[in-house]
């Protein structure tokens, strides 16, 4: 039986990168369940639009422009949320970008943006919010956006892949730290399969090498065709978080297949395994 409405039927949710895609879906779902949703994104207009959609359905939302690649912005957000709305029950560190290109051809600025948004944005989201969540003494939930890409390798997506491996490892350590201290903070690694979002849209790839365009558009077409709907994915994620699952999946079969490859790679110490589609979409 679904328990998300019991667990997330009230309290404050903070979601980063909630102007679009999975973040917007999570914000709408949290709003529909009855939470006060702090909808944050670097894209202020997009965050306002998500908040307006929640309010239009009778929910409670507050939009705030936040760039997760700047640690002080997350400190400012935590200060603002706790003083304006009180304790945070649900924090989802979701903001992320894809970066396509051969490792040696991605410009410095794009490498740094990818690490700063996808990895440091998650780390500093936790650093800014967890002390206040712990001090409140209340039960709370933290979800970090990992990916099926956290368990494999995709040539042409090294920058993205390293951040997702790192977010996965970070989330595992964080889970254990909470357990070791006996704290009532439930940590989840959210591991989406393909979800139909803007992540491979051409405009989100600004600053990538020119030869990345073909790989990016092939990936975009693939998620357009096979990706899960964002609202469906969001509902699945919040239900599994409500169940206090560390592993939160929208596509457990694909995750299991990639993890099986990873296990073989580590156990037998074989060379990295080429994904099936890699040659067809290789960056020039």
Ligand X SMILES: NC(=O)c1ccc[n+]([C@@H]2O[C@H](COP(=O)([O-])OP(=O)(O)OC[C@H]3O[C@@H](n4cnc5c(N)ncnc54)[C@H](O)[C@@H]3O)[C@@H](O)[C@H]2O)c1
Residue partners of 87: CB distance under 8 A and separation at least 6? 11, 12, 132, 133, 136, 138, 140
Binding mask 103-142 for ligand X (x = CB under 6 A): --------------x-------------------------
Residues in Cβ contact with 155 at an 8 Å cutoff, skipping those fewer than 6 apart:
102, 274, 278, 282, 283
160 in catalytic set: yes
Instruction: Tell whether residue 17 is a contact of ligand X (CB under 6 A).
Output: yes
Instruction: Report in angstroms how near the CB of residue 160 gets to ligand X at its nearest.
Output: 7
Question: What long-range pairs does 24-28 form, CB within 8 A, spacing at least 24?
Answer: 24/50, 24/53, 24/230, 25/230, 25/231, 25/233, 25/234, 26/92, 26/94, 26/234, 26/237, 26/238, 27/51, 27/54, 27/61, 28/53, 28/54, 28/57, 28/231, 28/234
Binding mask 168-207 for ligand X (x = CB under 6 A): ------------------------x-xx-xxx----x---
Fill in the per-residue mask, 250 to 279: x = in contact with ligand X (CB under 6 A), - = not in contact.
------------------------------
Contact call for residue 208 and ligand X (CB under 6 A): no
> Can residue 16 be called a binding residue for ligand X (CB under 6 A)?
yes
Among 160, 170, 175, 200, the one annotated catalytic? 160
Q: Which residues bind ligand X (CB under 6 A)?
A: 16-17, 19-23, 41-43, 46, 66-69, 94-97, 117, 145, 147, 192, 194-195, 197-199, 204, 223, 227
Q: Which residues are catalytic?
A: 160
């Amino acid at each position: 039986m679904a328990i998300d409405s019991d667990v997330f039927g009230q309290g404050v949710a903070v979601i980063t990168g909630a102007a679009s895609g999975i973040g917007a879906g999570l914000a709408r779902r949290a709003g529909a369940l009855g939470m006060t949703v702090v909808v944050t994104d670097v894209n202020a207009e997009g965050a306002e639009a998500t908040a307006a959609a929640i309010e239009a359905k009778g929910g409670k939302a507050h939009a705030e422009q936040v760039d997760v690649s700047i640690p002080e912005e997350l400190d400012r957000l935590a200060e603002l949320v706790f003083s304006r709305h009180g304790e945070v029950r649900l924090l989802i560190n979701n903001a992320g970008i894809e970066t396509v290109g051969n490792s040696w051809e991605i410009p410095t600025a794009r490498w740094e943006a990818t690490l700063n948004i996808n990895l440091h944005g998650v780390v500093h989201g936790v650093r800014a919010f967890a002390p206040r969540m712990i001090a409140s003494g209340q039960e709370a939930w933290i979800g970090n956006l990992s990916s099926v890409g956290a368990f494999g390798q995709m040539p042409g997506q090294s920058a993205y892949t390293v951040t997702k491996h790192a977010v996965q490892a970070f989330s595992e350590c964080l889970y254990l730290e909470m357990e070791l201290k006996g704290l009532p903070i439930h940590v989840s690694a959210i591991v989406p399969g393909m979800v139909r979002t803007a992540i491979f849209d051409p405009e989100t790839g600004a600053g990538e090498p020119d030869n990345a365009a073909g790989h990016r558009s092939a990936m975009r077409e693939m998620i357009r065709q096979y990706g899960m709907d964002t609202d469906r994915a969001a509902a699945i994620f919040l239900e599994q978080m409500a169940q206090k699952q560390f592993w939160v999946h929208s596509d457990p079969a694909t995750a299991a297949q990639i993890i099986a490859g990873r296990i073989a790679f580590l156990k037998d110490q074989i060379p990295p395994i080429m994904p099936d589609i890699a040659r067809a979409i290789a960056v020039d």
